[in-house]
Amino acid sequence: MKPARITSAEVLVTAPSMLWLLLLFCVPTLIVFAITFKPADLYGGIGPGWTLQTLRSLSNPNYPTIIWRTIWISFVATAICLALSVPMAYHLARVTPRWRQLLLLLTIVPFWTSFLIRIFAWKALLHPEGLFKQALVFLHLVRPDASLLYNAEAVLLVSVYTYLPFAILPIYAAAEKFDFGLIEAALDLGATRLQAFFKVFLPGIQRGLLNAFLMVFIPSLGSYVIPDVVGGPNAEMIGNKIAQRVFVDRNLPHASGLAAFLTVAVLLPMLIMIIHQTRAEKQPPTMREVA
């Protein structure tokens, strides 16, 4: 291997993606922070000069409730996804290759299907006239006048449904590499099955768990369509507020302020991941399994 000296060939293949992403990913992110300190003009654009008005209006008493709700919904959704993914990944790692291929394919298909359609499918099921609601009423599990839609639980359910494949794939990737002989060794040495699971298997797939946590937690912090379609006004998340500032009252600086806040909130766990990623190995196993 040659020493790391930058050649013209390297520049040639690196430049297109590097420049594109610097211009259309990094610069726009910086602009979000800049526009937070600009005033709005009367026509929904950005006015001249600089102001701290947006920062002041962000101390609106509604926001702490919404931020808190965003965090707990994301956190609980992530926890449920992990709890379902670990046994499933364990199963995937232990079945015969033929079965594994089929089960993996079945896990990947929902990842490829339209995100809006999957949300819509749940809206139709939870709708007062929908099948799910009718079935629960028939079983006397809910009262006929109870509403399954437009609450935080509906947002949670659909979030788990949407993000679950993102948790299964990295955990499976880690479980596949796990040496199951270690569990047998632990059992031979007198560990109970629960001990073997918590003290040997879970630490063994730690990296997969961390990846899965971030792959679910970060996108769900930015959820907008799910709370918008099945959540309603009582289950709004930060994403809804950003969209309202853009599409309803067209106050771009205010929307920027919220987006800047969200960027900082997702940057923190992401930095941890990047440090972890560069330290451990070059490839995240996550995307390899998607293909």
> Closest by alpha carbon to 271, among 221, 207, 217, 214?
214
Among 56, 177, 199, 288, binds another protein (CB under 8 A): 288
**C-beta separation of 76 from 156 below 8 A:** yes
**C-beta separation of 172 from 289 below 8 A:** yes
**C-beta separation of 221 from 262 below 8 A:** yes
Q: Does 189 bind another protein (CB under 8 A)?
A: no
Among 4, 42, 141, 248, binds another protein (CB under 8 A): 4
> Closest by alpha carbon to 258, among 78, 57, 103, 96?
57
Least distance (Å) from another protein to the CB of residue 21? 5
Least distance (Å) from another protein to the CB of residue 60? 19
Among 40, 54, 90, 170, binds another protein (CB under 8 A): 90
Among 177, 193, 249, 268, binds another protein (CB under 8 A): 193
Among 50, 68, 72, 115, binds another protein (CB under 8 A): 115
Q: Does 87 bind another protein (CB under 8 A)?
A: yes
Q: Does 262 bind another protein (CB under 8 A)?
A: yes
Among 208, 221, 236, 254, binds another protein (CB under 8 A): 221
**C-beta separation of 162 from 171 below 8 A:** no
Least distance (Å) from another protein to the CB of residue 59? 21
Q: Does 161 bind another protein (CB under 8 A)?
A: yes
